[in-house]
């Protein structure tokens, strides 16, 4: 790898903005809606944004790998692999809700080292690289101090999904244990934890393109990003973003109901 982490982070920020901003010509306007085989929605805005980001990666970093939600993988054996979700929160996008985001994660030797979450409709962006801290709209940020679940604000995307994956008992205990819960979800929920607006965000199901950006962002903001059982990974299909005081309390709840 010839590029430094800071150079790759800067490029990731610019690529996320380029892809994300392309969605604004469709947001709350006209777009083409389809459904994939798994019945998840996709629009022409998703595909246009990913195409823009891929073109920029190929032009600036030829030979780097790419994993994208809409167009699959290329050069995935490269030491540097860009992981793309052009619109995370497509349901928000198609309903005209501005909490959707564009995600870019960068894996270096299979380890998540750089993450960007860009909310184009809100013009909010958070980015991080290992050892370089976490920045929100140009300012350094940290997770919020909260040591007890009874004082915590808990976010998720939708509560019904927990039951589908066997996590409903843990969810019900967490709902009773926390001060407030809201469904400001998808990657925007993880972003809210990283910048100190909320204390817990849990996804019972997510893919690598949802997760790759999140781990470095939460770690560099002083937080914790693991799966529901405490493993630091982007590959087990679920995630807990929180601070280091609350993480063991949350994990113990789900372990108890395993």
Predicted confidence at residue 38, as pLDDT, reads 78
- Domain range 5-140, its CATH number among 3.30.540.10, 3.40.50.300, 3.40.50.2000, 3.40.50.720: 3.30.540.10
Same CATH topology for 5-140 and 149-256: the answer is: no
Domain ranges in the chain are: 5-140, 149-256
Name the DSSP letter for residue 23: G
Predicted confidence at residue 171, as pLDDT, reads 97
Predicted confidence at residue 36, as pLDDT, reads 82
Predicted confidence at residue 2, as pLDDT, reads 56
What are the Cα distances from residue 123, in Å, to 27, 38, 252? 13, 31, 37
Predicted confidence at residue 34, as pLDDT, reads 87
The answer to whether 198 and 183 have CB atoms below 8 angstroms apart is no
Q: At a CB cut-off of 8 Å and minimum separation 6, what does 123 contact?
A: none
Predicted confidence at residue 60, as pLDDT, reads 97
* pTM metric for this prediction: 0.96
Per DSSP, which regions of the chain are E strands? Answer: 33-35, 41-43, 65-68, 72-74, 80-88, 101-108, 111-119, 124-129, 134-136, 139-140, 153-156, 180-182, 200-203, 223-226, 239-243
pLDDT by 10s per residue, the chain, length 258: 557 999 999 999 999 999 999 999 999 998 998 888 777 888 999 999 999 999 999 999 999 999 999 999 999 999 999 999 999 999 999 999 999 999 999 999 999 999 999 999 999 999 999 999 999 999 999 999 999 999 999 999 999 999 999 999 999 999 999 999 999 899 999 999 999 999 999 999 999 999 999 999 999 999 999 999 999 999 999 999 999 999 999 999 999 998
Q: What tens digit of pLDDT does each residue of 11-64 get? A: 999 999 999 999 999 999 989 988 887 778 889 999 999 999 999 999 999 999
- The CATH classification number of 149-256 equals 3.40.190.80
């Amino acid at each position: 790898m010839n590029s430094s982490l800071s150079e790759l982070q800067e490029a990731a920020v610019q690529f996320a903005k380029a892809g994300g901003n392309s969605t604004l010509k469709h947001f709350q306007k006209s777009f083409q809606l389809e459904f994939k085989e798994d019945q998840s929605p996709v629009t022409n805005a998703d595909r246009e944004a990913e195409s823009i980001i891929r073109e920029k990666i190929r032009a600036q970093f030829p030979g780097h790998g790419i994993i994208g939600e809409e167009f699959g993988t290329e050069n995935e054996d490269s030491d540097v692999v860009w992981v793309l979700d052009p619109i995370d929160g497509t349901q928000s996008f198609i309903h005209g809700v501005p909490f959707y985001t564009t995600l870019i994660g960068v894996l270096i030797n299979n380890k998540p080292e750089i993450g960007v979450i860009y909310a184009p409709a809100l013009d909010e962006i958070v980015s991080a690289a290992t050892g370089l801290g976490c920045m929100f709209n140009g300012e350094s940020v940290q997770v919020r101090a909260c040591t007890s679940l009874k004082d915590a604000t808990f976010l998720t995307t939708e509560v019904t999904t927990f039951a589908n994956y066997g996590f409903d008992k843990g969810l019900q205990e967490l709902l009773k244990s926390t001060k407030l819960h809201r469904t400001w979800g998808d990657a925007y929920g993880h972003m809210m934890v990283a910048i100190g607006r909320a204390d817990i965000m849990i996804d019972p199901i997510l893919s690598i393109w949802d997760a790759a950006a999140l781990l470095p962002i939460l770690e560099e903001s002083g937080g914790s990003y693991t799966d529901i059982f405490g493993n630091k990974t982007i590959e087990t299909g679920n995630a807990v973003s929180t601070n280091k005081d609350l993480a063991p309390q949350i994990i113990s709840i789900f372990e108890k109901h395993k």
